[in-house]
Amino acid sequence: MYEQRLKLLYSLLDQDHFDGAAFIPGATFTYLTGLHYHLDERPKVLLLGKGRRPVLILPEFEAGKLKENTLNIKSFTYGENPDQWPQVFQQACESTGLADKKYAIEPLQLRVRELRLLEEASPSTRFISASAQLDTMRMQKDDGEIAKMRKAAGIAQDAFLAMLANIRVGMTEKEVASELVAQLLKHGSDPNFPFLPIIASGPNAANPHANPGERRLTSGDLVVVDWGARYEGYCSDITRTLAVGEIAPELEMAAKIVAEANKAGKVAAKSGAVASAVDDAARHVIDEADYGQYFTHRTGHGLGMEVHEPPYMTGQNTMELKTGMTFTVEPGIYVPGKFGIRIEDNVVVREEGGECLTSLPRDLFRI
Ligand code: CO
Ligand code: CO
């Protein structure tokens, strides 16, 4: 599988005459090699040159993991003295013939530390930001990846239902968040959650990215709950909205509009459609209900090994959707000082429209 992925990488790089690519630990690094390395202050760089044996620069004490890897990676290691770094980088760059080459880098990942070490070790190499080429690589998921995402969604949903049974009016947002975090772990999420849950009640919910605070759940509130699990490296990212006690008719109405917009966005997620069609479909429903000015963000984002990755469901994105692409559909209405509501599902593009990995009801959950 990893040999296939390297072939895909080189064919994408070929289109723009790159000779190879340099990665530090992160989603793409793991996608290409199956290796998991923690990113700390010590520089770790994977050099993938077309027609060359892969090279990995890393601390000596972490080289053991390479024994089980099937990609025949050649390692260049250093001890705990940072003074060794420049020399080890130089040896690695020479070994893989980096001089005068054009190498792709990920602008959101590679750090200044590694970039400077590479540039100093091989001054004639051009390291060029290549998100256009690299972004497409992980977008279409295979069946194995989708199975992991489905499991991540299932864990998150089970955790949410278990949390609902344990929360009450009067609890603070933080108390609700801690209950949800505990349930995510109990239900089998990897401990490195895609993000910590958002629990935003009453007027706080008008901020789409609110942090849980000390506000207590109060009768009449809508409460936005946005959370996700990770399973074998793949993320889910779900939002449901709770109604606490009796809520105003306007809030009931807004909830129906957002559920309708969520459905319209999912239906539009057909292969061959453009990404903006998903945004347009969801936004149209909210515009028609005269809440357009209160839907202040894009309709969704790609989801996979990272919680935000391409493709992005914006009104400007003309990218064609292809089978196996995975992303969120998450319209919302946010009225400052009053209330907020969002409903977020995780979708796989199929011929006939979006297949949903999430199955919790989209209605308000009553507590
Ligand atoms: Co979310
Ligand atoms: Co999201």
Confidence check: pLDDT of 135 > 90: no
311: preceding bond cis by omega (within 30 degrees): yes
Percent over 90 (pLDDT), the chain: 95
pLDDT at residue 354 is higher than 90: no
353 has pLDDT over 90? no
The reported pLDDT for the residue numbered 142 is 95
Nearest ligand atom owner, CA of 342: 1
Q: How far is the CA of 225 from the centre of ligand 1 (A)?
A: 8
Name, in order, each residue with C-beta under 8 angstroms of 139's C-beta and a sequence gap of 6 or more. Answer: 302, 304, 309, 310, 311, 322, 324, 325
240 alpha carbon, closest ligand: 1
CA of 19 to the centre of ligand 1 (A): 37
- Cα 239 to middle of ligand 2, angstroms: 8
What pLDDT shows up at residue 251? Answer: 97
Please state which CATH class domain 2-134 belongs to: alpha beta
Q: Please name the helix (run of DSSP H) or strand (run of DSSP E) that holds residue 177, with its range, or none.
A: helix 173-186
User: Across all residues in the chain, what is the average pLDDT?
Assistant: 96
Measured in angstroms, how far is the CA atom of residue 224 from the centroid of ligand 1?
10
Compute the distance from residue 103 Cα to the ligand 1 centre, in Å. 34
* 127-136, 175-184, 293-302, 309-318: least confidently modelled range: 127-136
Task: Give CA–CA dist 366/220, Å, rounded.
Answer: 11
Instruction: Starting from the CA of residue 196, give the closest ligand.
Output: 1
pLDDT score at 114 = 97
Residue 236 Cα, ligand 2 centroid: separation in angstroms? 9
Q: How far is the CA of 301 from the centre of ligand 2 (A)?
A: 6
- Give the Å distance between the CA of 198 and the centre of ligand 2: 11
If you measure from the C-alpha of residue 193 to the centroid of ligand 1, how many angstroms do you get, rounded to a whole number?
Answer: 12
Q: Which of 266, 277, 329 is nearest to 303 (CA)?
A: 329
110-123 per-position pLDDT tens digit? 999 999 999 999 99
Closest ligand relative to 309 C-alpha = 2
Residue 329 CA: which ligand is closest?
2
Q: Which ligand is nearest to the CA of 195?
A: 1
The two structure tokens encoding residue 26: 């992160």
Arithmetic mean of pLDDT, 268-282? 97
Per CATH, 2-134 and 143-366 having the same topology is answered no
> What is the residue extent of each domain of the chain?
2-134, 143-366
pLDDT of residue 84: 97
pLDDT band of residue 352 (cuts 50, 70, 90) is confident
* Residue 44: per-residue pLDDT: 97
* DSSP strand pairing (230-231 vs 300-302): unpaired
Q: How far is the CA of 122 from the centre of ligand 1 (A)?
A: 42
Å from CA of 223 to ligand 1 middle: 14
Instruction: Tell me how far apart the alpha carbons of residues 44 and 57 are, in angstroms, rounded to a whole number.
Output: 5
* 317-350 confidence digits (pLDDT tens): 999 999 999 999 999 999 999 999 999 999 999 9
- Compute the average pLDDT of residues 22-38: 96
- Give 102-112 pLDDT, tens digit per residue: 999 999 999 99
Mean pLDDT across the stretch 66-72? 91
**Which residues make up the environment of ion ligand 2, defined by Cβ < 5 Å?**
237, 328
Q: What is the token pair recorded at 236?
A: 């889910």
CA of 133 to the centre of ligand 1 (A): 26
Q: Which fold is adopted by the domain 143-366?
A: Creatine Amidinohydrolase (3.90.230)
Ligand that lies nearest to the alpha carbon of residue 312, given by its number in the listed order: 2
Residues 26-48 have a mean pLDDT of 96
pLDDT for the residue 132: 83
**Confidence category of residue 133, pLDDT binned at 50, 70, 90:** confident
Ligand 1: centre distance to CA 192 (Å): 16
List, for residues 156-183, the tens digit of each pLDDT value.
999 999 999 999 999 999 999 999 999 9
Q: Which ligand is nearest to the CA of 306?
A: 2
Compute the distance from residue 208 Cα to the ligand 1 centre, in Å: 9
What are the tokens at 192?
Answer: 């490195």
Residue keyed to tokens 């809440």 = 291
How many whole angstroms from 240 Cα to the centroid of ligand 1?
Answer: 9
